[in-house]
Amino acid sequence: MALNPFFLQGAQSEQRLTQDLINEHLRMFGVEVTYIPRKFIGTDDVWNEVESSKFDDNFSIEAYVNTYEGYSGAGDVLTKFGMNIRDEVDLTISKERFEDFIAPFMAGLDDGTDDSEMVLTSRPREGDLIYFPLGQRLFEVKFVEHEDPFYQLGKNYVYQLKCELFELEDEVIDTSIEAIDTQVKDEGYITTLKLVGLGRTAIATASIGSGYVEEIFLNNDGSGFTSAPTITFSDSPANDTTRAIGIMTTRANVTSIEKILVLNAGSGYVTPPTISFSGGGGTGAAATCSIGSGYNGVVRVNVIDGGVGYGTAPTVTISAPGNGVQATGISSVGPSGQNRIVKFVYVDNPGKGYTSTPTVTIADPESMVGVGTYQYNETIKGSRSGTTATVRSWDGDTKILLVTNVGIGSTVAGFFSGEEIVGQTSGAAYATASYNSDDANDKYSDGDEFEFQADQIIDFTESNPFGVV
Amino acid sequence: MFGTYFYHEIIRKTVISFGTVFNDIHVRHQDNTGKDLVDTKVPIAYGPRQKFLARIQQQPDLNKAIAISLPRMSFEMTSVTYDPSRKSGITQTFKAKDGKKFKKVFMPVPYNLGFQLNILTKLQDDSLQILEQILPFFQPGYTLTVDLVNSIGEKRDIPLILNGISYSDDYEGNFDTRRALIYTLDFTAKSYMFGPIADTTDGLIRKVQVDYYSDTDTRTANREMRYRVESTAKKDYNDDQVIDAADNMLIEPGDDFGFTETREFFGDSKEYSPTRKIDI
């Protein structure tokens, strides 16, 4: 049976009038919310999950709050996982306004310029965010109802968005609206970078002498060491005995001596000293040496000032003799409080033919002076580790940089001490004094407290015979 | 009736030991090319807590923008039960040292503490990353050596036994309810309860003396030899610049000391009186 042709089920003009009235009503009695679409960065097609997302666009739209008496949902509840705020809200937005002013722009967001992906841009989408300014809250759309009211005059005019408070993991929220982005300033896993702004060049001097150990021949690198052995040289007649340390290496679970670094080449030897090895748990190591006599070489390098801000061992340059072989040195850096300093300079090659004390030049640390101010939400990158992270806060006085979403760099998660941390937007650059991967802000996590207290009571002296745990 | 105050914090220590096992678990996320993007340390906490403290610590700003940050782990003690399979004699004691003093300790009573570890994640993949960092270490137990009574340095091996794993994934149904993805791991910690640590009159044996007779009837037999061993100080306890017999009396349990052996020969029939400390 066909419908009665004398009764219209909704003329287009009536439908347009209704839509206009609804739009007008929403603009008078609604709340201006911000619609934030989700971009997919990483998806898992086995578990059918979006692993990584970012929210970096925003669209204002008026919305009517259906539940005028407050949020629905279970409210603030204490769970075994801490505080969980289960506020929900139902919002009504104009279908026409969304389709005219948001959907076309959303469709243009996936322009292939980055690794993110936008899917389904013609309607409000479950998973997108709504910033509700009255409560300063981020709601996630969990369901879009498009048929309520049901085809009035033959058409639907609104979307009803059923929203729940967002559960944050490591999503990037960078809408460029400060009021929104800073809502998650203290949320999630936030770690601490202690930076140093001022680097200082290390200073060292050289001492020359004759009758020094010129070259060491490692005849047998030994085996079975558990730590570096003590290397002893027979006494020098001039009471300036050679001192050296062993650098160990492990191959196929066998630890042996890789090389011997000379701290002091000694002086006054008339015959090559004997070299003996003790301790370290290994056997078989043997070495001999030659001496340089009749001419002067650099017997030791004395570090006068270790400098500040050395993340990697700087190059050491010892000036050349007028006629002879130029000496070379190898530096070793280590922590000193919050700074990284040059601890030793080993004599790699004492050279020969020095008639006067040469000058020693140690290269500058990576960053002499920290510059700039890191910006909220900008990406920073470690110069050596390649690790990236997102800035949460920066205190220029204490030089504490709080970051989240720390990535995995060239080797492990986190940053190397001494490397330069460069803000990718601000250009700010400082050197890392230390990186602390403990959560700086989470008032839920007790992991660090457990670890601290457990250190007092758990006995780790018994190792696991089946391997390292 | 019991009356003696003591508190070794054994259950607290077991809880701390349990918590620290799982305090360095990480979750990583990749982009679509498989490149690692983010490494997140999974926070863990003991679930039960004072409500007001939870509110003011975790929600200092009343207008909290998000519901919760994930992933998270929590654990709680669920049971305390006697373990008859590890029962030992109730009157059996052993000696322990509290600093310089000997203490008498009754054998501890074996109790099993039940623990439940819960993992709440947003993604199934997160749950599995966490789970795979835990399960290989439990076969089905992982043993910790815990200093249960630190005043006497009593270290005990506490096996953590993984009894079972269950999970809930409420993904079905309408869109009004959230998807909750929770893994629950049940553990048993085989711990011990220690009673009060009592002082003991036992102390260092400073002198041992034996008289040898030519026959078993000491009234008629000749006394032949006396063998005496005395503890001897190795340092100057009383700071009089000499190490002598006066220092011997100041040796305490646990000190490094030596012994002096003395042999005396007799041809008499006397006996040693321990009370008068002379031969009579």
**Residue A200 confidence (pLDDT):** 76
Is B63 within 8 Å of A137 when comparing Cβ atoms? yes
Residues of chain B contacting residue A86, judged by C-beta atoms under 8 Å apart: 67
Residues B178-191 have a mean pLDDT of 94
Least confident of A120-124, B204-208, B252-256: B252-256
For tokens 């992991």, the residue is: A447
Is A466 an interface residue toward B (CB < 8 Å)?
no
Chain centroid to CA A63: 39
Query: Rounded CA gap, B19 and B29, in Å?
Result: 25
Phi/psi class of residue B56: alpha, beta or left (left: φ > 0; alpha: ψ in -120 to 50)?
alpha
Count CB-CB contacts under 10 A for residue A111. 9
Is B19 within 8 Å of A459 when comparing Cβ atoms? no
Is B65 within 8 Å of A138 when comparing Cβ atoms? yes
**B159: closest CA of chain A, how far (Å):** 13
pLDDT-derived band at A413, boundaries 50, 70, 90: low
**Residue A169 confidence (pLDDT):** 92
Please check the confidence at residue A402 and state whether its pLDDT lies above 90.
yes
**Residue A444 confidence (pLDDT):** 86
Residue A239 structure tokens: 């009471």
**Residue A239 confidence (pLDDT):** 84
Query: Rounded CA gap, A199 and A207, in Å?
Result: 26
Please check the confidence at residue A463 and state whether its pLDDT lies above 70.
no
For tokens 């419908």, the residue is: A3
Identify the closest residue of chain B to A41 by CA–CA distance: B31
Please check the confidence at residue A334 and state whether its pLDDT lies above 80.
no
**Residue B63 confidence (pLDDT):** 84
Average pLDDT, whole number, for chain A? 87
Residues of chain B contacting residue A138, judged by C-beta atoms under 8 Å apart: 65-66
**Residue A466 confidence (pLDDT):** 45
Is A135 within 8 Å of B63 when comparing Cβ atoms? yes
Residues of chain A contacting residue B68, judged by C-beta atoms under 8 Å apart: 81-85, 167-168
Query: Rounded CA gap, A138 and A33, in Å?
Result: 10
**Residue B45 confidence (pLDDT):** 94
Residue A421 structure tokens: 């941390």
Strands of A418-465 (E only): list them.
420-423, 429-436
Average pLDDT, whole number, for chain B? 88
Residues of chain B contacting residue A167, judged by C-beta atoms under 8 Å apart: 66-70, 122
Phi/psi class of residue A268: alpha, beta or left (left: φ > 0; alpha: ψ in -120 to 50)?
left
Count the alpha carbons within 13 Å of A137 in the hemisphere toward its beta carbon: 23
**Residue A412 confidence (pLDDT):** 66
Percent of chain B residues topping a pLDDT of 70: 98
- A26's enclosing H/E stretch is helix A12-29
Q: Tell which residue, A64, A59, A39, has the closest CA to residue A51.
A: A39
Where is pLDDT greater, at A47 or A462?
A47
pLDDT-derived band at A91, boundaries 50, 70, 90: very high
Residues B27-48 have a mean pLDDT of 87
Q: Which residue in the set A41, A82, A189 is minimally distant from B32, CB to CB?
A: A41
CA distances from A368 to A315, A430, A432 (A): 16, 9, 12
Least confident of A196-200, A432-436, B55-59, B151-155: A196-200
3-state secondary structure of A99: helix
DSSP A14: H
Residues B213-222 have a mean pLDDT of 82
**B204: closest CA of chain A, how far (Å):** 29
**Residue A468 confidence (pLDDT):** 42
Residue B133 structure tokens: 């960092």
Least confident of A67-81, A388-402, A434-448: A434-448
* Chosen from A171, A388, A458, A464 to mutate, greatest number of chain B CBs within 10 A: A458
**Residue B138 confidence (pLDDT):** 93
Hey, which residues does A195 pair with through a beta bridge? A432
pLDDT digits 0-9 by tens, B54-106: 888 888 888 889 999 999 999 999 999 999 999 887 777 777 777 667 778 88
Residues of chain A contacting residue B19, judged by C-beta atoms under 8 Å apart: 446-447, 450, 454
Residues A426-436 have a mean pLDDT of 86
Query: Rounded CA gap, A433 and A76, in Å?
Result: 40
Query: Rounded CA gap, A344 and A303, in Å?
Result: 6
Is A171 an interface residue toward B (CB < 8 Å)?
no
Cβ atoms of residues B70 and A169 within 8 Å = yes
Where is pLDDT greater, at A195 or B97?
A195
> DSSP letter string over B106-160?
EPPEEEEEEEEEEEEESSHHHHHHHHHHHGGG-SSEEEEEEEEETTTTEEEEEEE
pLDDT digits 0-9 by tens, A40-66: 988 888 999 998 899 999 999 999 999
Residues A325-349 have a mean pLDDT of 81
Whether the ipTM is more than 0.90: the answer is no
Query: Rounded CA gap, B280 and B272, in Å?
Result: 6
pLDDT-derived band at A464, boundaries 50, 70, 90: very low
pLDDT digits 0-9 by tens, A237-270: 888 888 888 888 888 788 888 888 888 988 889 8
Percent of chain A residues topping a pLDDT of 90: 41
**Residue A244 confidence (pLDDT):** 84
Please check the confidence at residue A120 and state whether its pLDDT lies above 50.
yes
Classify residue A117 by burial, with Cβ atoms within 10 Å: 0-12, 13-18, 19+. middle
Is A41 within 8 Å of B120 when comparing Cβ atoms? no
Pairs of CB atoms within 8 A across A/B: 212
Query: Rounded CA gap, B259 and B73, in Å?
Result: 58
Is A315 an interface residue toward B (CB < 8 Å)?
no
